[in-house]
Amino acid sequence: VRAVLITHSHADHFAIQQLGWAMPNFAPVPKHGPLLIAGSEGTYETYRQLYAAWGSRFTEGMMNFEVLKPFQPADILGARVTLLPAEHGAKGASVYLIERDGKRVAYMHDTGVVLPEVWDYFKALDRPLDLVSLDAVCGPNRAGEHSGHMSFEQDAEIRMEMLRTGV
């Protein structure tokens, strides 16, 4: 693993305490270079807390954090990655559009309703998405509008809207 995209700073997605074991005295220095962790400014704030506790000995040679700005593509190991805002109750919660080798993947987990600005972004793309991976934590039970998750029914509605609009 050379890079990790973080969607948000909740402990079930970004177990920051576990990264403390990635210090040089606990783990070998990666042969391919430091692990790249990428995410929103809100997620970076969580990362900074660990850095404040451990100092440069924590990250030196082991990992780097790249702050991604919403709607601004960045190159991550040869892939074009665009952070898009999500509705999930964590500061800087995000989903991702990942493009590589002519393919487009929308990774949309731990989010509730697709935000209007994300719909607008998708609709402005020059061609449709190739793959969409959606959150369905609520399964058959329709999620509340601002629950930060979706259901099978809501995923089907998003699919229909994507087909209708050519996303």
Give the lowest-confidence range in 124-128, 144-148, 149-153. Answer: 144-148
- Residue indicated by tokens 């780097």: 64
Over residues 28-47, the pLDDT tens digits come to: 777 788 889 999 998 888 88
pLDDT at position 43: 87
pTM for this one?
0.85
3-state secondary structure 101-129: CCEEEEEECCCCCCCHHHHHHHHCCCCCC
The amino acid occupying position 111 is: T
